Amino acid sequence: MTNDQYLIVSYFVCAALSTVAGVLAYLYLRHSFAGVAGAAPGKHLPSILKMLFPAGLVFAALLGFLSVSYQGCNRTTYTEIVESRNYLIAKNHEQLSAILFYIVLAVLLWNLVALLILRSAQRGKNGSSSIANSVPPRRIVLTGFMGSGKSTIGPLLAARLGWSFLDVDDVIEAEAGTTIAEIFARHGEAAFRKREQETIARLATGDALVLALGGGAIEHEATRALLLTAPGTLLVHLEVELATTLQRCRGTEQTRPILADQANLAARYQRRLPLYRTAHVSIPVDALLPQEVVDRILSESGR
């Protein structure tokens, strides 16, 4: 293999590997960091890398193309230069080739190093569940979109543990002397969310407690931070598909103001899903029976 052929093959290999690394890293980001938008402070690194990866990927592919084109167009010229014994020009030609080669190699290494950083960050994210479970929790908080089964799973889980069960929405209705739908109608969603946040902050200090949140509680940043960092609290996301929600909740629009707002329902679901997934534990429940969900939660909690 001649020197020119060796360089061309090298550029092809580097550009291909760099492109593959970039694509794999992007897919890894897309599937593993769906919840990064709602991550706690200090977990911004994956978002930064997510912005830089497309640029690195395009840069690698462009350099690979330019390098190969450069070598392909200059093989004859290079041979003529050497044969004419113009070694100064030949040396500059070789230096430019080497520079292009090392730039492509550097982009490849960047993609690989960034992927390792992402894997480390993901282990840290997943590790939060292990850290939370290293000591059995004193309270378990259930979150998820409407129809995920929080009000069904909660009492069953509490009975298995011998704990108390509270539904935040029930507590709010009892204290306000009216329904959630009436609070929405009279005072608006903002007033309800403020009352909800205050109620959760008060209840989330109890021990031997299973607490079920309303579907929108997770959107409040202070509530999220409290439930993710409070000692002894295990936040469990009951993940449900929107189609399952619609099937389970059909006919309850009068008591569920969010469900009644069909025009914005899908947007709410998509906005909340990454926030739900910041929980210590996330369990897909569409195909599980209630007792099976309880078993999974107990297993994850170390009880």
User: What CATH superfamily is the domain 135-301?
Assistant: P-loop containing nucleotide triphosphate hydrolases (3.40.50.300)
The string of DSSP codes covering 167-188 is EHHHHHHHHHTS-HHHHHHHHH
* 160 phi and psi angles, rounded to 5 deg: -65, -35
pLDDT per position as a tens digit, 214-230: 988 999 999 999 999 99
Predicted pLDDT of residue 56: 58
CA gap 136, 132 in Å, rounded: 8
Q: Which two tokens stand for residue 55?
A: 């640029």
Does the pLDDT at position 84 exceed 70? no
pTM above 0.85? Answer: no
Comparing CA positions, the residue from 101, 10, 115, 7 lying closest to residue 53 is 115
pLDDT per position as a tens digit, 97-144: 666 666 666 666 666 666 666 566 555 444 444 444 457 899 999 999
Boundaries of CATH 3.40.50.300 in the chain? 135-301
From the DSSP assignment, how many helices (H) and strands (E) are in the chain?
11, 5
- As a whole number, mean pLDDT of residues 62-66 equals 57
User: In percent, how much of the chain has pLDDT > 70?
Assistant: 52
Does the pLDDT at position 198 exceed 80? yes
- As a whole number, mean pLDDT of residues 171-185 equals 92
Predicted pLDDT of residue 137: 92
Does the pLDDT at position 255 exceed 60? yes
Predicted pLDDT of residue 263: 72
The more confidently predicted of residues 164 and 110 is 164
The more confidently predicted of residues 135 and 14 is 135
pLDDT band at 264 (very low <50, low <70, confident <90, very high): confident
pLDDT band at 234 (very low <50, low <70, confident <90, very high): very high
Does the pLDDT at position 177 exceed 50? yes
The string of DSSP codes covering 184-234 is HHHHHHHHHHHHHHHHHHHHTT-SSEEEEPPTTGGG-HHHHHHHHHSTTEE
